[in-house]
Structure 1
């Protein structure tokens, strides 16, 4: 009679955590919630680039801003480090890629990737040009105005058309609904969720927005499924409806709805915020603006690409990328982090590391001209298996929007101090909205 195999339980190593912040948790939690960026700056100066903290929503957390440790985190198996808990799926829905881990996450990313790479992206460039021209037609000349709101309009209209194709009543209603949902959702994302539904609270209002969204998207899905030309359509919704997993099963309506909301939210606010920072930056650096204007009249975009990379480094919109320790113990450099801890990479601190970027406070696109940034020091889209799927699409958007604006307007330079940071919850924007003065080019 054969003997049953012995099952060896995973060994849980003794925790060996990085230095802990020496401030009472209540005081530190308040500081982190009210002033996340300055508090993280202080942590790095006081304790170094790997520190243990306890923060609201995420609990026990190791905050990292060391490139070598960042590389280890982003290249660790997704079966070892899961997505951070809680994450944006509590807002975007259980069908969002944010909610998935392991094999389910890999299978979903495989379905989501095709619309946002290569030929698919190039097919959307004309939409970017059209939506930019439509928005800038009404820009005031000679009067200072904030660019953030126009950039929000442009990026939302682009992603709506890319996802759903032709315009219509439902898209008009989504155009009004999504900004309200994103603004409120961004603020609530950094706060604990209520244990029960409370209709008269901000969380209740977010639920109402979500129900309205689901009704509109359900109509659009039904219309697309009944379209006799579905196989020839190139919009993202049609691609999702035609795609199947390796076992031949399609995405469910719930999964499609949650993923489309993820694309609308993630691909809307962050890109617009980066563009507002781009206008804020170049209006304060005449030599950069002059070179961008000269290049915009050509087919070259190398300096514009370098400028976009530098804006994303110098004015990072998303400040953290997190993981959750799923195994009994996770060896992080010299440290041993126990199961249940969060591991957060501070993207802003990485981008301000003088060992990686000389004089990091200086805004200088030349540092990226004809040079690709270090994969684990320049990380505005996160990294590893959870790197933003729409990174290439967002880069194309920013490139084409900037080129189109520079071809049609002269941007006035200013000696005013740079705008301060403003937290919208998840994203950081220019406090005054990236204000500029423009004149239409002859």
Structure 2
């Protein structure tokens, strides 16, 4: 069954609401009992100019949440779009059983679409993010032990030290983007885990130069020109333009550190991820190439840095707009109520998932209830819509950590780290950082609450971040 909505994609801009401004207590209209038949929002037609079609598809990408909430509230559990200059036909799904059928399917029939990610020109084609099939499984098996159990526990001192440093430098009485403060923390933690970098004063010249270039790239990624650079590199395998120049400098610095470590020959005595990659061997017994190691390092750096930092920023962007919840959270942390802190983090990731969607290519026809999607379609799994279903999370625009107290959500009902065999490798490390950083900020920083509208989400690469960086003002800080 496929019924069609008559509204073309290019008119969505004129009527989409801003979902992030929905008032508390309201329903989303997503996943409610009165859902209409499945809808299909059509893409470019013969009567539309190429420029208009491109503008429509760009609006879809840059206002993804607004477009999807508008379409989903019109009814249906499968939304269809045709994106000009993009992946072509797209089926958006956000019903748990439909999601499960895709993310748990054999990669032979539903492979990940991450090899077409906007991050592909940056992280390369040999990383755990962009690889597929057997190679991806081998990479996960190699890296997984460094992100679980005792390895995560070994990062705790780095997390504590980085948090303490950030708190000492936080200005009082002046609005600051919390994402910037959180990035200082998460960057130090992930660089310690990946490269085993010591205190700056103890770094080698090669390590210092690499850190400077990486910081430069991360600062550049937040500028408007970076957005234009991203569009220029969309759907390319290799970088061009300004991005190519930036990456060339970074690659030179990373390769210098790799060469320095190879020459030192002490990888076996170290426990950082670079040492692990230097010691790794392929099935043929050959060491990994420098380009393979570089791709893994860049992937882990970016994935382990930005997502966690922006989760911290979103958490306090929400808390400062819900004063009663903020007060309750501070009391919980001071009394050692770890269950409430865990529920708070789940609610933050539910209401503002930093990765709002993941994708799979459907290589066979797929049945979603009564709707059959033909092969060749990209299934876009909307984590954002899933997390705002009225039937799963009543009054989804409320910020209520209590909904997760004593509740363990299903793996296809709460998906801040994705799902299936592509679930985020660093989920355990991210949660350890979030518990420490959010807990310390609640315990030691008194933030000014506000009745200002919620910050608009900004879509950058594959992430959804607060447009103003989660701007907050500290009234006092316990140093």
| Alignment TM-score, normalising by the size of structure 2 | 0.81
Q: Relative to 1, partners in 2 of residues 1:117 and 1:224: Cα closer, same or farther, differing over 3 Å?
A: same
Give, in whole Å, the separation in 1 of the partners of 2:406 and 2:235.
49
Q: Does 1:386 align with 2:415?
A: no
Superposed displacement of residue 392, structure 1 = 1.2
Superposition pairs for residues 246-265 of structure 1, below 5 Å?
248-265=285-302
Give, in whole Å, the separation in 2 of the partners of 1:156 and 1:73.
33
Give, in whole Å, the separation in 2 of the partners of 1:336 and 1:292.
45
CA deviations 1:254-292 (Å, max 9, x no partner) are 111101111111111111111111111122223332333
Q: Which moved more, 1:406-415 or 1:55-64?
A: 406-415
Contact 2:43 2:82 in 1 (8 A): no
SS of equivalent residue, structure 1 residue 159 = helix
Q: Relative to 1, partners in 2 of residues 1:326 and 1:152: Cα closer, same or farther, differing over 3 Å?
A: same
Give, in whole Å, the separation in 1 of the partners of 2:236 and 2:106.
32
| Alignment TM-score, normalising by the size of structure 1 | 0.88
Superposed displacement of residue 140, structure 1 = 1.4
Give, in whole Å, the separation in 2 of the partners of 1:192 and 1:20.
29
Q: Relative to 1, partners in 2 of residues 1:37 and 1:194: Cα closer, same or farther, differing over 3 Å?
A: closer
Superposed displacement of residue 153, structure 1 = 2.0
Q: Which moved more, 1:268-277 or 1:413-422?
A: 413-422
Residue 276 (structure 2) aligns with: 239
Give, in whole Å, the separation in 2 of the partners of 1:278 and 1:351.
15
- Cα RMSD over matched residues? 2.7
Selected match of 1:173 from 202, 205, 212? 212
Give, in whole Å, the separation in 1 of the partners of 2:298 and 2:39.
39
Superposed displacement of residue 81, structure 1 = 0.7
Superposed displacement of residue 192, structure 1 = 6.1
Q: Does 1:83 align with 2:112?
A: yes
Selected match of 1:105 from 136, 152, 165? 136
Superposition pairs for residues 402-421 of structure 1, below 5 Å?
402-421=438-457
SS of equivalent residue, structure 1 residue 394 = helix
Superposed displacement of residue 93, structure 1 = 0.4
Residue 9 (structure 1) aligns with: none
Selected match of 2:360 from 323, 331, 348? 323
Q: Which moved more, 1:227-236 or 1:276-285?
A: 227-236
Give, in whole Å, the separation in 1 of the partners of 2:132 and 2:332.
43
SS of equivalent residue, structure 2 residue 408 = coil
Q: Which moved more, 1:235-244 or 1:390-399?
A: 235-244
Superposed displacement of residue 312, structure 1 = 0.5
Contact 2:124 2:237 in 1 (8 A): no
Contact 1:15 1:337 in 2 (8 A): no
Residue 5 (structure 1) aligns with: none
Superposed displacement of residue 406, structure 1 = 2.8
Give, in whole Å, the separation in 1 of the partners of 2:78 and 2:2.
15
Contact 2:229 2:243 in 1 (8 A): no
Selected match of 1:277 from 310, 314, 334? 314
Q: Does 1:60 align with 2:89?
A: yes
Q: Does 1:225 align with 2:262?
A: yes
Q: Relative to 1, partners in 2 of residues 1:15 and 1:108: Cα closer, same or farther, differing over 3 Å?
A: farther
